[in-house]
Amino acid sequence: MRRSGRVLGVLALVALLAACGGRDLSTPSSRIVGHWRADVDLVDLHMDAYFGAPDEDGVGPVAFSADQEDSPVSGTYRVVSEEVDGEVLTAELTFGGQSEEITATAPRDGKTVRVRLPDVGMLAAPGGGAMSLTLDYVDGKQAP
């Protein structure tokens, strides 16, 4: 019986790693690396986001593409802070010399990321203020 328990444990670990694609899910900043997709029905927007792995300074490449003419847009992100054992990450996105700080929640399963966006005009939540966007993990690609 003991041997079959070990075999089942090893099989469960292999299945878990296969489901995650061998991704590092140990911290919020490692969980966001890869290709993500969001569909925003409210404004009929389909967006792909690509986060590269951050370097030792916490800076990584980021690119967004959408079904618009001026797509893709590339820039960088810098990890400002994160709950290393938790799920919350604060990052500064920089595109064309303009920076914006966002807060993201990256659950430990690595399947989704919920990004809290600052007030973005027409996309602001009812009553004004910030809104959230949920991105779904697609694959490990780090660029369009």
Q: What is the pTM of this model?
A: 0.76
The token pair at 89 is: 């990450």
* More confident: 76 or 4: 76
Better pLDDT: 131 or 88: 88
Domain extent for 52 = 25-139
* Residue 60 within a domain: yes
pLDDT at residue 69, rounded to an integer:
64
Q: Are the beta carbons of 34 and 142 closer than 8 angstroms? A: yes
Q: Is the pLDDT of residue 11 over 70?
A: no
Give the pLDDT of residue 129.
53
Overall number of domains in the chain = 1
| Cα 50 from Cα 89, distance rounded (Å) | 16
| % the chain with pLDDT above 70 | 72
The pLDDT, as a whole number, for residue 21 is 56
DSSP secondary structure letter of residue 124: S
Question: What pLDDT is stored for residue 106 in this prediction?
Answer: 97
Whether 52 contacts 142, CB under 8 Å: yes
Q: What pLDDT is attached to residue 82? A: 94
∠ Cα 12 17 18 (to 5°) = 95
Q: How far is CA 40 from CA 46, 67, 117, 130, in A?
A: 6, 12, 13, 15
CB atoms inside a 10 Å sphere around CB 103 = 17
Position 43 in a domain: yes
Q: What confidence tens digit (pLDDT) does each residue in 96-144 have?
A: 889 999 999 999 999 999 998 765 544 444 445 567 889 999 999 999 8
Determine, yes or no, domain membership for 110: yes
CATH number of the domain within which 79 lies: 2.40.128.20
Q: Is the preceding peptide bond at 28 cis, omega within 30 degrees of 0? A: no
CB 68 within 8 A of CB 79: no
pLDDT at 13 over 70: no
Structural domain contains residue 20: no
Whether 13 is in a domain gets the answer no
* pLDDT of the residue at 33: 97
| Residue 6 falls inside a structural domain | no
